[in-house]
Amino acid sequence: MKLVTLLVLPFAAALASTAPFKGCQQKVKESIHGPPHRWYKHAPAPKHHMLELKIALPQPKFPELEQHLWEISDPSHARYGAYLSKQETEALMAPHPETLDIVNEWLALHGLAEEDVIHSSARDWVTIRVPVGLAEEMLDTTYHVYKHAETGESIVRTTSYSLPDILHHHIDLIQPTTMFARFKAFKSTMHWTNQAQPAVSIPPGATITGPAGNPVDASCNSTITLSCLRQLYNAENYKTTATNCNKLGLTGYLDQYVNNKDLQQFYQAQNPSAYGSDYTLVSINGGKNNQSYAAAGSEANLDTQFGFGLAWPTPGTFYTTGGEPHFIPDLMTPNNTNEPYSYWLDHVLSQDDIPQTISTSYGDDEQTVPYTYAIRVCAGMASLGARGVSLLFSSGDHGVGDGRANPASQRCKTNDGRNITTFLPMFPASCPYVTTVGGTVNIPETAASFSSGGFSNYFARPAYQEAAVSAYLAMLAPGTFEGLYNSTGRAFPDVAAQSESFSIIYQGQESLIAGTSCSSPTFAAFVSMLNDARINAQKTPLGFLNPFLYSIGYTALNDITDGNNPGCGTLGFNATVGWDPVTGYGTPNFEKLKDLVLAMP
User: Annotated active-site positions, please?
Assistant: 299, 303, 517
Q: How many CB atoms lie within 10 A of CB 418?
A: 9
Distance CA(599)–CA(601), nearest Å, equals 7
Residues 396 and 287: beta-carbon distance below 8 Å: no
What one-letter code names the amino acid at 283? S
- Alpha-carbon gap, residue 310 to 266, rounded angstroms: 12
CA distance 401 to 422: 8
Are 44 and 172 within 8 A, CB to CB?
no
Instruction: With H, G, I as helix, E, B as strand and everything else as coil, classify residue 59.
Output: coil
Pairing state of beta strands 125-131 and 173-175? unpaired
578 is in an annotated binding site: yes
CA nearest 484: which of 566, 583, 417?
A: 566
Residue 83 falls in which region: left (phi positive, over 0), alpha (psi -120 to 50) or beta: beta
From 334, 462, 409, 393, select the one nearest 568 (Cα to Cα): 409
**Residue 456: in which H helix or E strand, if any?**
strand 454-460
Exposure of 541 in the CB half-sphere (CA atoms within 13 A): 28
Residue 199 to residue 66: CA distance in whole angstroms: 51
The phi, psi pair for 56, rounded to 5°, reads -95, 125
CA distance 415 to 32: 8
DSSP string, 302-314: HHHHHHHHHHTTS
Q: What is the distance between the alpha carbons of residues 48 and 111, in angstroms, rounded to a whole number?
A: 16
Residues 6+ apart with CB under 8 A from 407: 569
End-to-end alpha-carbon separation of the chain, Å? 48
Give the Å distances, CA to CA, from 79 to 62, 74, 151, 177.
Answer: 19, 8, 49, 41
- Cα–Cα distance measured from residue 402 to residue 419, given in angstroms and rounded to the nearest whole number: 15
Q: From CA 326, how far away is CA 522, in angstroms rounded?
A: 35
Q: Is 580 annotated as a binding residue?
A: yes
User: Would you list the DSSP string of 495-544?
Assistant: EEEE-S-EEEEETTEEEEE-SHHHHHHHHHHHHHHHHHHHHHTT-----S
What is the gyration radius of the CA atoms in the chain, in angstroms?
24
Instruction: Enumerate the known binding-site residues.
Output: 559-560, 578, 580
Instruction: Enumerate the known binding-site residues for Ca(2+).
Output: 559-560, 578, 580
